[in-house]
C-alpha cells in the first residue's frame, strides 16, 4: 500500500501519478513492494542478492518503471539490477530514487544497474534523484551504471539530480560497439554543503560508433562538484564531451574532461566551461519585468532542463 508520502516521492522521481501502466517494480525502504510484468517484459527478483532482472524480449516496445524510494532514517540500501533490452526492442526505462529522511541518521541508496542494449535496439533511460526530509540526517545516493550498447543500437541516458541530495558519487561506464550510438545528458544541482562527483568512462570499441556526453550543472552555496568524463576511441569512433557549469556563491567546481584516441581515424572533441550567470542575461530578463531573483531562477531552471 502506497502512502501519500510515497506517492509524492514517486511523482518527483518518476513522474508517476499512482500505479503506472505497463511493467513496473517499486522498491521501498530496502524491499520490493509492488511488481508487475507485461507481455514481452519480465521483471523478476534476483535469488542471490537484492535487486531485480528486467528482461525485454526482442522487438518489444514499451515503458518500464523501476523507481526506488527511501522514507526511513538510518537505512542503507544496496541493490543490483540487471536489465536486458532484446534486439530491435524500443524501451523507455524510468528509474530514479527519492529519499525522504525524517530523522537524524544517514539514509543511503547504492543502485547498481547493469544494462545490455542488444543489436539494433533503442533504450531511453531516465534517472532522477531527489532528496528531502525534515531531519538533519544526510541523504546519500551512489548510482553505478554499466552499459553495453551493441551493434547499431542506440542508448540515451538522462541522469538528473534535483535538489536535496547531500552526497553523491556517480559512476557510469559504457562500451559502444560498431554503429552503436550513445547520448548521455547529465543535469546536476548542488547547494549548501552538498558534494557531487561524476565519473564517466565511455569506450567506443567498434567502428562508426558515436558518443555524446553533455553535462550541465549548477553549484550553489558552498557545495563542491567534480566531473571526470573520459571518452576513449579504439577505432573509427566519433565523440563529443560538453561540460557546462554555473558557479555561484562560495561553490567549487572541477571539470576534467578527457579524450583518448587509439586510432588515427578517431574524431574526439571536448569542451568545458565554468562561469557565473552572465550579467547580460540577468539584465535582459529584468528589462522584461522579472526581478533579479526571478531572472536567476529562470536561467538556472532553463539551463538544467
Partner 1 sequence: MLELKDLELKFFTEDKEIIVLKKINLVFEKGIIYALTGPNGSGKSSLARMIMGIHRPTTGQIIYKGEEITPLGITERARRGIGYAFQHPARFKGLRVTDILEIAMEHPDNHECPYLREMGLCPDDYLDRPLDDSLSGGEIKRIEVATLLAQDPDLRILDEPEAGIDLWSFEQLTAVIARSHRPDCTTIIISHQERILNMVDEIILLEEGTVAMHGARDRVWPLIRESTRCTCSRDCPERGNFYADCPR
Q: Is 248 in the site for partner 1 (CB under 8 A)?
A: no
Q: Is 286 in the site for partner 1 (CB under 8 A)?
A: yes
CB 282 to partner 1: min, Å: 9
What residues between 195 and 224 interact with partner 1 by CB under 8 A? 216
Q: Is 10 in the site for partner 1 (CB under 8 A)?
A: no
Q: Choose the stretch contacting partner 1; rule: CB under 8 A; options: 10-18, 124-132, 190-198, 293-301.
A: 293-301
DSSP-assigned beta bridge partners for residue 182: 155, 211
The secondary structure of 115-142 as a DSSP string is EEE-TT-EEEEEEEEEEE-SSS--EEE-
In the chain, how many H helices and how many E strands? 3, 23
Q: Is 243 in the site for partner 1 (CB under 8 A)?
A: no
CB 288 to partner 1: min, Å: 5
Question: What does the alpha-carbon distance between residue 159 and residue 168 come to, in Å, rounded to a whole number?
Answer: 13
Contact of 153 with 119, CB cutoff 8 Å = yes
CB 136 to partner 1: min, Å: 33
Q: Is 281 in the site for partner 1 (CB under 8 A)?
A: yes
Q: Is 303 in the site for partner 1 (CB under 8 A)?
A: yes
Contact of 245 with 216, CB cutoff 8 Å = yes
CB 186 to partner 1: min, Å: 14
Q: Is 17 in the site for partner 1 (CB under 8 A)?
A: no
Question: What does the alpha-carbon distance between residue 172 and residue 170 come to, in Å, rounded to a whole number?
Answer: 6
Q: Is 287 in the site for partner 1 (CB under 8 A)?
A: yes
Question: What does the alpha-carbon distance between residue 50 and residue 41 come to, in Å, rounded to a whole number?
Answer: 20
- 3-state class percentages of the chain: helix first, strand second, coil last, to nearest 5: 10, 55, 35
Of the candidates 178, 226, 259, 304, which one interacts with partner 1 according to CB under 8 A?
Answer: 304
Nearer to partner 1, 151 or 244 (CB): 244
Contacts of residue 214, Cβ cutoff 8 Å, sequence gap at least 6: 183, 184, 185, 186, 242
Site size toward partner 1 (CB under 8 A) is 22
**Residues in touch with partner 1 (CB under 8 A):** 216, 244, 278, 280-281, 283-292, 298-299, 301-305
Amino acid at each position: 500500500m502506497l502512502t501519500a508520502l510515497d506517492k509524492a516521492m514517486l511523482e518527483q522521481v518518476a513522474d508517476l501519478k499512482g500505479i503506472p501502466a505497463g511493467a513496473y517494480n517499486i522498491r521501498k525502504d530496502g524491499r520490493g513492494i509492488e511488481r508487475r510484468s507485461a507481455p514481452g517484459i519480465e521483471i523478476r527478483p534476483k535469488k542471490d542478492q537484492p535487486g531485480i532482472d528486467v528482461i525485454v524480449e526482442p522487438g518489444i516496445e514499451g515503458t518500464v518503471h523501476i523507481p526506488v524510494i527511501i522514507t526511513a532514517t538510518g537505512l542503507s540500501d544496496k541493490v543490483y539490477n540487471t536489465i536486458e533490452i532484446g534486439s530491435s526492442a524500443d524501451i523507455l526505462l524510468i528509474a530514479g530514487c527519492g529519499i525522504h529522511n525524517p530523522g537524524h541518521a544517514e539514509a543511503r541508496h547504492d543502485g547498481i544497474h547493469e544494462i545490455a542494449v542488444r543489436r539494433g535496439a533503442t533504450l531511453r533511460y531516465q534517472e532522477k534523484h531527489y532528496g528531502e526530509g525534515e531531519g538533519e540526517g544526510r541523504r546519500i545516493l551512489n548510482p553505478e551504471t554499466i552499459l553495453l550498447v551493441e551493434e547499431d543500437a542506440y542508448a540515451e541516458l538522462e541522469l538528473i539530480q534535483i535538489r536535496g541530495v547531500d552526497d553523491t558519487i556517480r559512476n557510469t561506464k559504457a562500451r559502444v560497439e560498431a554503429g552503436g550510438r550513445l547520448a548521455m545528458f547529465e543535469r546536476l544541482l548542488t547547494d549548501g554543503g552538498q558534494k557531487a562527483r561524476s565519473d564517466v568512462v565511455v569506450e567506443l570499441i567498434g567502428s562508426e560508433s558515436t558518443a555524446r556526453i553533455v553535462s550541465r550543472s549548477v553549484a550553489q552555496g558552498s557545495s563542491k562538484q567534480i566531473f571526470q568524463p573520459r571518452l576513449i576511441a579504439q577505432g573509427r569512433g566519433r565523440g563529443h564531451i560538453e561540460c557546462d557549469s554555473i558557479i555561484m556563491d562560495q561553490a567549487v567546481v572541477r571539470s576534467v574532461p578527457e579524450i583518448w584516441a587509439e586510432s588515427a581515424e578517431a574524431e574526439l572533441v571536448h569542451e568545458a566551461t565554468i562561469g557565473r550567470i552572465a550579467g547580460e542575461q540577468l539584465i535582459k530578463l529584468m528589462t522584461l519585468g522579472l526581478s533579479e531573483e526571478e531572472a536567476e531562477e529562470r536561467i538556472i531552471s532553463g539551463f538544467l532542463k
